[in-house]
A = this chain, B = another copy of it.
Amino acid sequence: MATHTITLHPSNTTVAVPTGALITEALREAGLDVAQPCGGQGRCGRCAVVVEAGNVRRRSTIRLSGADLEAGYALACQTVIEGDATLLVPEQEKIERRLVTDKTARKVGVPFPYDPARDQTVRAFPLSLDEPTLTDTVDDYARLERSLAAHGIRNLDVPLPILQTLGPRLRDANWQVTAIVETDNWRRPDGPPRLIDLVGQSHGQAQGQSHGIAPTESGRADPRAGSPIYGVAIDIGTTTVTVYLVNLLTGEAVDAAAEYNGQIRRGEDVISRIIYASKNNGLGEMGALVRSTINEVIERLAQRNHVEQKQIYKATVVGNTTMMHLFLGLPPASIRLTPYIPTVNHPLPLLASDLGLDIHPLATVDCLPGVASYVGADITGGVLACGLAEADALTLFIDVGTNGEMVLGTRDWLVTCACSAGPAFEGAGVVCGMRATRGAIEEVWINSQTFEPTYRVIGETRPRGICGSGLISLVAELFITGVMDKSGNFDVGADPVSARTPRVRVGDHGPEYVVAWASETDTGRDIVLTKVDVDNLMRAKAAIYAGFTVLAQSVGVDLKDVERLLIGGAFGKYINVEKAVQIGLLPDMPWDRFNFLGNTAVMGAYMALLSREARAQIKAIAEKMTYIELSTDNTFYDAFTSALFLPHTDMGRFPTVAKIWGNGEREE
């Protein structure tokens, strides 16, 4: 096969690739890391490069304007090399986003009265073994078991790596050791207990560590006097990985930290990641990326809290079903294809060494149970954390990200569904969309007379695009001020707005509203919201609202009867509820019924980390939840179609919006 020389500017490097290779392959060959938020599907346009010279074939130009094409732009993921070529690779945008957890570092309280002897499955037992003699010759293993029997631990499992050093460890420590034991787990409620580590007093002292062993005078163990033992609660979000470091003796969340999921560079949403993971070695790469993110966060937590990573003896993990599959190395392809079947919703407990987590290699890693391909452990964890499963009143819990997952119920029953909202609320799939990073317009106000906007930019800098909360805000303002009608059409009626402001115009992608002129932006281009973007956002919000409707209908209640609306996820932290109600994303109800809970997923993982009982509750929640698959639900399509308006076909569902809109004197 012929090979071609590709010259890359500005680095001026050259690589050789065969005929038919994609430009992305040439870039990777040259060691350049190209962002592919859409997973290499040509949807996001983020991998655009300029073809300065040479022979290439553009398979898809969907995200490029006529001007872009004239300037030589091509999508690296969609362009085939057919001869020597010279390419200009624009500098990748530096991703600087606000990471909430590290900034706020709020103290998270122990969520319930905690007694490790009652609640915790990982315990530290200080032991003083009898030294063997010629008349007491039981083997080391049986001797350890005999000593643990005083603590009610019997039939101990000793994993091979510990067995292989058991003899020297006991002798070096002069038979004074602390045994770290997992007494049980959800899969083995009656044991057998498993030895995770054996820490010798002399060993600890020799290394200057605090592996103190302090049997009380009566010889009985005080678990708080033993070695420090820690756990981690991990939330693998599609966008952000969050970890709590927890002291298992006190139950306290010592610290928390977060980092962007390293998989983002291979796809922004779960569908893109499934597609990427289904390619050659994509699964292995996805696993390595998220593992490395988690390990970075754990290392940071350990260092700044002076904890040794090998003192972390337990982990609980939540995430959506796709994130769990990628973390566990399970091929996710069937999640995306009808009938949407995951490999497993409730994985068995595993070992840190199986998964490459940099904590004690024999620590249990417990992935909490999900319910279905699109309702994962982040939601069951969230239901536990938000208290829905113990609610007397009718409660709706939602967690909106790339997908909108929602649960309706009380202590007696739970129904759940997931809507494929798409990435619009995360700024993807929108011409000037971006993530909630520095330079993103996050809130917009429009003057109803002049139609001139005022906006707030993250980082108080020149704007580069619009993030999810900015988009919701902008659509709501365009609707309320009459720039758009209920269907999201610009410039309609007898007195079109375009006659009164140059901000409403027809651009490359059809009708659009200019939020910021090129002269005031960081990119030197206008920042606009197009009709196509509005349609995307309408579909996203309609899908979520239709989900609420179907859930309520499925159990024969009315959304109006919902007494509490609990909103989890980072989305809930930034969204302007008033605007979200105005576009019909959230139901119109008294504001005191809304509760913003932040990251309920990691909170659920934290509770499960602490308590055998909480862990059992999550399992019970997962088993109790009735999953409604919307793609087979006859009522969903109707509900979706009805919601494809601002805020809804049935204005009666949105009385407060009707009132504001009425004040604007646009009653029809």
Cα separation A171 to B333 with both chains bound (whole Å): 11
Contacts of A340 in B (CB 8 A): 134, 137
From A171, A339, A632, name the one whose CB has the most chain B CB atoms within 10 angstroms: A339
A335 CB → nearest B CB, Å: 9
Report A133-166 residues with CB < 8 Å from chain B CB: 133-142, 157-158, 160, 163-166
B138, B192, B334: which contacts A167 (Cβ < 8 A)?
A: B334
A139-B341, A343-B163 known; A331-B134 Cβ under 8 A: no
Cα separation A147 to B140 with both chains bound (whole Å): 43
Cβ A166 vs Cβ B343 within 8 A: yes
Contacts of A137 in B (CB 8 A): 339-341, 372-373, 627, 629
Cβ B354 vs Cβ A160 within 8 A: yes
A160-B354, A334-B167 known; A139-B344 Cβ under 8 A: yes
A139-B342, A139-B343, A348-B157 known; A134-B632 Cβ under 8 A: yes
A347 within 8 A of B: yes
Contacts of A354 in B (CB 8 A): 160
Q: Of all chain B residues, which has the CB nearest A341? A: B132
A641 within 8 A of B: no
A345 within 8 A of B: yes
A139-B341, A139-B342, A140-B343 known; A328-B134 Cβ under 8 A: no
Cβ B163 vs Cβ A345 within 8 A: no
A330 within 8 A of B: yes
Contacts of A15 in B (CB 8 A): none
0/1 string, A631-651, CB within 8 A of B gives 1: 110000000000000000000
0/1 string, A168-187, CB within 8 A of B gives 1: 10010000000000000001
A331-B167, A354-B160 known; A140-B341 Cβ under 8 A: yes
Give the size category of A's interface with B: 35 or more
Cβ B339 vs Cβ A133 within 8 A: yes
Cα separation A121 to B229 with both chains bound (whole Å): 38
Cα separation A348 to B192 with both chains bound (whole Å): 12
A207 within 8 A of B: no
A88 within 8 A of B: no
Cβ A134 vs Cβ B339 within 8 A: yes
A89 CB → nearest B CB, Å: 36
A350 within 8 A of B: yes
Contacts of A329 in B (CB 8 A): 160, 164
A625 CB → nearest B CB, Å: 13
Cβ B331 vs Cβ A168 within 8 A: yes
A633 CB → nearest B CB, Å: 10
Contacts of A450 in B (CB 8 A): none
Cα separation A158 to B347 with both chains bound (whole Å): 9
A12 within 8 A of B: no
A449 within 8 A of B: no
A170 CB → nearest B CB, Å: 9
Given contacts A139-B342, A171-B334, 11 further A-B contacts (CB under 8 A): A132-B339, A133-B339, A134-B339, A137-B373, A139-B341, A140-B343, A141-B343, A141-B344, A142-B345, A163-B347, A164-B330
15 inter-chain pairs at a CB distance below 8 angstroms, sorted by A residue, are: A134-B338, A134-B339, A134-B631, A135-B632, A137-B341, A137-B627, A137-B629, A140-B341, A141-B344, A164-B329, A164-B331, A166-B330, A167-B330, A167-B333, A168-B331
